[in-house]
Structure 1
């Protein structure tokens, strides 16, 4: 009979909380320590994480020396999908705030996603994605954000800025012309769609199954920067 086995605990910097990695049979699961028991991530159900990397990177794969940013390493599936969709001359930066999550991806989680941190196109940044955006004006062809449960289902209040109008404006400033912003969410959020429009994006809500073609569906906003939004 399968049971949850705690593999490790990773403190969240400047938060006071922690993430916990569990082994459950052949799968791994990440939860918030002391939370409601809900799973944040699961190696068996990552269809929407794959789509978060695939959809925007396919749109910019033809750009010469495409440069993209993944906000939130998670279990590595979005990073792996982005690398698969891009060419050999691309660069994929991934910003992850929690050191323990990085170590898990270098260790037990690595094989599940195909060891994307070992790809020579990957640049790993152990820092807040907001800080990366601030120092990279016009730096990216695509930005993919999966740092929480989405704009409506935040588990950490510190992440709220990223989904605010100021945060979306920062994303717009960090994109190159014809840039694409993709945002993962556990659920739809009409107010967030409106903020994307005010920040100068033409956005589409895409519903993606978490696993296969049935069950839970997640929302991904695919937001293309409108011409003239950046000078």
Structure 2
């Protein structure tokens, strides 16, 4: 269980709140100043300092849906719970219907249900539209029978920078085909990335998606965050 520590000052170094070993390696929850951050296998994943691109992931997917589908309380699968920005943003929008979150790390789910990240996701977890599935997303999209109007996926730092090697299967032709099968006709696939990838846009087209675009969010340093969008046209 996570460690409760006093709130540090804004200039204090990172404080580890929880560290767990699981089937996919080590995951760590840290507090740095007023912010919380998640580290997986030594790789920084995300923190609570911004969240604009995680919210864009949800908004861009909704905007890309056909008008009739958007007006009918579309369903959304959120791949990766993270620090909770995407889930909280989806649940705050009454236009969404069913909201399913797939998260493979039990620790991350615990940090939201009973830990410090509940301050971001608490209201969303209590929303009757929300369902949390403790499962591996790559396996889920290949084996599930449910279909959705939108898949909003954020499990890596992008298709070219995965957290674990087995996640690469999501971005292969067969993985993208599985994502396409989880979408209703006209449904939208949205994938978050920490950097642009022209090659991935081409991979989406080769997998039979239409309407392939990318929306960028500038960051303080380095290349912009990106949301890759693609539509199941048939």
Same fold per superposition (TM over 0.5): yes
Short-chain TM bin: 0.7 to 0.9
* 2:225 maps to 1:218: yes
Name the CA distance, whole Å, in 2 between partners of 1:155 and 1:56. Answer: 23
Among residues 17, 28, 37, which one is paired with 1:7 in the alignment? 17
| Unaligned 5+ runs, structure 1 | none
Question: Do the aligned residues in 1 keep the contact of 2:79 with 2:155 (CA within 8 Å)?
Answer: yes
Question: Shift of the alpha carbon at 1:100?
Answer: 0.1
1:131 correspondence with 2:134: no
Q: Do the aligned residues in 2 keep the contact of 1:137 with 1:175 (CA within 8 Å)?
A: no
TM-score by length of 2: 0.86
Which whole-Å CA distance do the structure 1 matches of 2:55 and 2:81 have between them? 12
**Paired positions, count:** 218
RMSD: 1.9
Q: CA deviation at 1:65?
A: 4.1
- Does the CA-based 8 Å contact 1:20-1:30 persist in structure 2? yes
Residue of 212, 216, 219 corresponding to 1:207: 216
Moved over 6 A (4+): none
Question: Is the contact between residue 58 and residue 85 of structure 1 (CA under 8 Å) also seen in structure 2?
Answer: no
Inter-CA distance 155–131: structure 2 relative to 1 (3 Å threshold): closer
Deviations 1:41-60 (A, max 9, x none): 11012111111122113444
How many angstroms apart in 1 are the aligned matches of 2:60 and 2:53? 10
1: CA distance, partners of 2:22 / 2:197: 26
Of the candidates 41, 49, 73, which is equivalent to residue 46 of structure 2?
A: 41
Deviations 1:48-104 (A, max 9, x none): 11111221134446252421101111011111122233426x100000000000011
2:112/2:122 contact within 8 Å kept: no
Q: Are positions 1:74 and 2:77 aligned together?
A: no
Gaps of 5+ in 2: 1-10
Partner-residue secondary structure (3-state), 2:92: helix
User: Matched residue of 1:74: which SS?
Assistant: coil
Q: Using the alignment, how far apart are the partners of 1:44 and 1:160 within structure 2?
A: 27
